[in-house]
């Protein structure tokens, strides 16, 4: 257990609330308190004894409080190894008393940052003394107890009461782990802020930080433990009904949101299954969009996630409630729609307050990670018509829609569309022609009347003309693809032979 009696505590908290929850216990065990500035005043106002740091150190507070605790009397009092004779001798000579408990709450840098305070002003919120106190005491966990969060007051009170004014090494170690998690997190926020402001995209050392949002029941599979972390102070999506979300739900929800955010108009619907779209539509209103998205592959849509880029109406809610979906993600729900949907065993997510789109994406691969810009560009250059046949204006709109959906489908991706609704999606095949076949077969099964005069999009170039042949065989009349294959000439020839229009985007959208 390695119990350590606490005789002296240093308190320096930015957030002064709840101090009254801990002070009676410190008094009860006759723990001397050192403090300064606002914390000192607050403790005094609560009628507890407290020594001001400047008196304690015999060194007056300078630079408007920028340097208060950075003093050897403080840090030697914390950092000395109690069992070390040399240390003991040094302390005796210098008349430095031990500090056994350190309670710190850091300046709220992240909170201020999220308010979009100016750089020069925000810098003032970088705490220097606080992290040093936390790190000193966390390092010396064998002898010192550190509290780096005011949320842990009750834990400390419990510990002190149970062990009569002492703490166990287990408790101190745990608090040290929390302390280093905090200082790492705190500096990661600052570091990422500096890098963002200085436009340093790939620093030599990169840290990514997250706040625990919730422990999930399990991960991608039941034998994996998992938790969700938010990279900012708020996760911004709100569950308004249903059982708790699973790992796969979150994966699907964010896949859905990425599709929805790519729509310019608030009329679209995307249905996702296994993180792949299985029906997407952007027609004149949410009802038509929903029906078309569903009809693209009603079998796969079963138990899937529906995303709606608008406020769900009563009419749509009625349509939704007739089918089995696991989650509905919408940009708000009207009152009547909620009445209908809340009767069902379904998870409802409102994303109307979702702000953030991360500029960077990170892919974890065992002992490394790939960091890259998010794929936020659809087509960089002007479309290039490469066939004798030119696409009509309507076809072009449909092609661009299909190409946009392609961005969100796992590679190799082929998307067949009629107007602005998908009618066949071929995903995740190692060979492009196989994705063509899957997309065509879906269309033949669920939209046999629409495949003639449809359009197709490919996320990357066709390496051979075989894919074109597969698509045109059943009536695809226009194709959009990046181009850039060594076989482009043969591919174009095949398109001309079929009498269809083809455009090159010059922009590829692999997604794995």
Active site residue 139: yes
CB-wise, 129 or 165, nearer to its own copies?
129
Closest residue by Cα to residue 291 from 162, 461, 122, 420: 420
Give the containing element (helix H, strand E) for 335: helix 335-341
Active site residue 274: yes
- Using CB under 8 A, which of 8, 42, 209, 331 touches its own copies? 209
DSSP labels, 133-163:
HHHHHHHTTTT-EEE--GGGHHHHHHHHHHT
Helix (H, G, I), strand (E, B) or coil at 389: strand
Q: What is the DSSP letter of 390?
A: P
Contact pattern from residue 288 through residue 327 relative to its own copies, giving x for each residue in contact according to CB under 8 A and a dash for the rest? ---------x-xxx--x-----------------------
- Using CB under 8 A, which of 16, 155, 178, 469 touches its own copies? 178
- Using CB under 8 A, which of 276, 398, 404, 418 touches its own copies? 276
Give the containing element (helix H, strand E) for 79: helix 72-79
Paired tokens of 214:
């919730």
Binders of its own copies in range 479-508 (CB under 8 A):
507-508
- Using CB under 8 A, which of 438, 451, 455, 495 touches its own copies? 438
CB-wise, 47 or 366, nearer to its own copies?
366
- Using CB under 8 A, which of 30, 83, 364, 486 touches its own copies? 364
Q: Give yes or no for residue 183 binding its own copies (CB under 8 A).
A: yes
Q: Give yes or no for residue 278 binding its own copies (CB under 8 A).
A: yes
Helix spans in 349-487 (H): 393-406, 432-446, 466-472
Integer CA distances (angstroms), 140 to 31, 165, 321, in order: 19, 19, 59
Helix (H, G, I), strand (E, B) or coil at 25: helix
CB-wise, 32 or 466, nearer to its own copies?
466
Q: Give yes or no for residue 220 binding its own copies (CB under 8 A).
A: yes
Instruction: Quote the CA–CA distance of 303 and 325 in Å, as a whole number.
Output: 4
- Using CB under 8 A, which of 14, 18, 168, 230 touches its own copies? 230
Residue pair 191/207 in contact (Cβ under 8 Å)? The answer is yes
Binders of its own copies in range 137-176 (CB under 8 A):
139, 141-142, 173-174, 176
Contact pattern from residue 238 through residue 267 relative to its own copies, giving x for each residue in contact according to CB under 8 A and a dash for the rest? ---------xx-xx--x--xx---------
Strand partners, 306: 271, 328
Q: Give yes or no for residue 58 binding its own copies (CB under 8 A).
A: no
Per the rule left: phi > 0, alpha: psi between -120 and 50, beta: everything else, 64 is left
CB of 240 to its own copies, least distance (A): 18
Instruction: Quote the CA–CA distance of 368 and 345 in Å, as a whole number.
Output: 40
Instruction: Quote the CA–CA distance of 458 and 435 in Å, as a whole number.
Output: 9
Q: Give yes or no for residue 353 binding its own copies (CB under 8 A).
A: no
**Which segment (7-15, 212-220, 330-338, 395-403) binds its own copies by CB under 8 A?**
212-220
Binders of its own copies in range 26-45 (CB under 8 A):
none
CB of 393 to its own copies, least distance (A): 26
Secondary structure E strands in 339-409: 347-350, 360-365, 368-373, 384-385
Per the rule left: phi > 0, alpha: psi between -120 and 50, beta: everything else, 421 is beta
Catalytic residue among 71, 88, 139, 490: 139
- Using CB under 8 A, which of 95, 198, 322, 345 touches its own copies? 198
Contact pattern from residue 400 through residue 429 relative to its own copies, giving x for each residue in contact according to CB under 8 A and a dash for the rest? ----------xxx--------------xxx
Q: What is the DSSP letter of 35?
A: E
Residue whose tokens read 């107890």: 145
**Which segment (15-23, 69-77, 384-392, 449-457) binds its own copies by CB under 8 A?**
69-77
- Using CB under 8 A, which of 1, 3, 46, 357 touches its own copies? 357
- Using CB under 8 A, which of 154, 164, 225, 392 touches its own copies? 225
- Using CB under 8 A, which of 30, 47, 223, 264 touches its own copies? 223
Binders of its own copies in range 115-144 (CB under 8 A):
120, 123, 126, 128, 131-132, 135-136, 139, 141-142
**Residue 155: CB atoms within 10 Å:** 14
Strand partners, 10: 34, 102
Tell me the catalytic residues: 139, 274
């Amino acid at each position: 257990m390695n119990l350590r009696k606490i005789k002296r505590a240093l308190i320096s908290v930015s957030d002064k609330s709840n101090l009254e929850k801990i002070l009676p216990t410190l008094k009860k065990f006759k723990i001397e308190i050192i403090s300064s500035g606002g914390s000192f005043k607050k403790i005094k106002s609560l009628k507890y004894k407290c020594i001001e740091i400047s008196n304690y150190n015999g060194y007056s507070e300078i630079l408007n409080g920028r340097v208060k605790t950075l003093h050897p009397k403080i840090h030697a009092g914390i950092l000395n190894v109690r069992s070390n004779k040399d240390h003991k001798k040094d302390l005796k000579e210098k008349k430095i008393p031990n500090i056994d408990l350190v309670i710190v709450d850091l300046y709220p840098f992240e909170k201020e940052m999220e308010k979009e305070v100016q750089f020069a002003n925000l810098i003032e919120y970088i705490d220097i003394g606080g992290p040093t106190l936390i790190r000193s005491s966390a390092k010396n966990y064998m002898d010192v107890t550190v509290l780096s969060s005011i949320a842990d007051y009750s834990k400390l009170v419990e510990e002190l009461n149970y062990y009569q004014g002492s703490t166990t090494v287990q408790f101190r170690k745990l608090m040290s782990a929390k302390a280093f998690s905090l200082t790492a997190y705190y500096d990661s926020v600052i570091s990422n802020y500096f890098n963002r402001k200085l436009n340093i995209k790939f620093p030599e050392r990169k840290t990514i930080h997250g706040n625990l949002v919730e422990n999930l029941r399990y991960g991608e599979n039941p034998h994996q433990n998992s938790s969700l972390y938010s990279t900012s102070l708020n996760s911004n999506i709100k569950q308004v009904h249903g059982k708790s979300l699973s790992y796969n739900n979150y994966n699907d929800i964010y896949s859905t949101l990425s599709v929805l955010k790519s729509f310019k108009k608030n009329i679209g619907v995307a249905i996702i299954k296994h993180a792949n779209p299985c029906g997407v539509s952007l027609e004149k209103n949410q009802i038509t969009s929903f029906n078309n998205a569903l009809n693209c592959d009603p079998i796969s849509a079963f138990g899937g996630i529906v995303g709606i880029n608008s406020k769900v109406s009563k009419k749509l809610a009625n349509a939704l409630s007739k089918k089995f979906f696991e989650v509905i993600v919408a940009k708000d729900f009207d009152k009547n729609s909620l009445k209908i949907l809340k009767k069902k065993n379904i998870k409802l997510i409102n994303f109307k307050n979702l702000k953030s789109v991360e500029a960077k994406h990170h892919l974890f691969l065992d002992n490394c990670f790939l960091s890259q810009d998010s794929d936020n560009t659809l087509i960089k250059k002007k479309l290039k018509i490469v066939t004798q046949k030119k696409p009509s204006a309507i076809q072009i709109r449909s092609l661009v829609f299909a190409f946009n959906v392609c961005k969100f489908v796992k590679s190799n991706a082929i998307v067949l569309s009629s107007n602005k609704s998908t009618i066949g999606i071929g995903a995740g095949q190692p060979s492009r022609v196989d994705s063509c076949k899957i997309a065509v077969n879906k269309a033949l099964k669920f939209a046999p009347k629409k495949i003639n005069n449809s359009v197709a999009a490919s996320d990357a170039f066709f390496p051979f003309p075989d894919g074109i042949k597969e698509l045109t065989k059943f009536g695809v009349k226009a194709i959009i693809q990046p181009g850039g294959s060594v076989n482009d000439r043969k591919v174009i020839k095949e398109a001309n032979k079929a009498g269809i229009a083809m455009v090159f985007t010059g922009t590829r959208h692999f997604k794995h």
